[in-house]
Chains A and B, each alone.
Chain A
Amino acid sequence: MLSHFLLMVVYALIVSLFFTVLWRRERREQVKLFLQIFLGMVLGGLVVAWLMYPFPSGPPAPIP
């Protein structure tokens, strides 16, 4: 359960399902919006991760 990618996908799944049911009533529009949000979040996350890849992670943050 601690795979970063899996957690990101689960998060995107919950959020996209939520907004799909909240904002759309017709099945076809629901599928369209679901795919837009879900793929946008997952692919957007991968793009951001790819862009951040060259940067070093640095030392761990201090625990408050």
Chain B
Amino acid sequence: MAETGSTSAAQPAPQAARPQGNPIVAVLSAWLVPGLGHVYLKRHLRGLIFFVLVIASLAIGCSLEGKLYVVERGQPLTILATLGSMGMGFPYFLLRYGLHYKGNIMGAGFEYGTAFLLTAGLMNLLLVLDAWDIVRGKKE
């Protein structure tokens, strides 16, 4: 036991692997712009790939005229769906308030587009959690 203790004392915790970054900035930037949190944490390539994937999902969803969820009265599940969609961060608010995007239920690709849009939000929420894990040193 004593040997183990001296070994751990001689070898400091791997703090070098922990990126120097503010957790709040990392999480907020990860939420606002897909992949930005990873770029902030010096994971540039990964951040770029995530940005492309989330924006591609978003763009395909919009091109298919999918639904951008908003909370509807008497439809409690739309609260969850809206929170999931809001996970995409700034693009959600740009679409909703800037471009007044709503989708088109009569569009041929409406259901597919809705799935793509919701997936974009959920993927970005996972990126926020990933950025949090990285900045806390729980993940590389």
Contacts and interface: CB of A to CB of B under 8 A. Distances in A.
Interface of A: 1-2, 4, 7, 10-11, 14-15, 17-18, 21-22, 25, 63-64
Interface of B: 46, 49-50, 53-54, 56-57, 60, 63-64, 105-106, 108-109, 112, 115-116, 119, 123, 126-127, 130, 140
A10 B109 CA distance: 14
B49 A1 contact: no
B126 to A, nearest CB: 7
Max chain B C-beta neighbours (<10 A), residue from A15, A21, A25 = A21
A7 B53 contact: no
Per DSSP, are chain A's interface residues mostly helix, strand or loop, or mixed?
Answer: helix
B119 A21 contact: no
Nearest to B129: A22
B50 to A, nearest CB: 7
B57 A14 contact: yes
A1 B123 CA distance: 22
Given A1-B63, A14-B53, A17-B53, A7 B109 contact: yes
A14 B112 contact: no
A46 to B, nearest CB: 16
A44 B106 CA distance: 28
B40 to A, nearest CB: 17
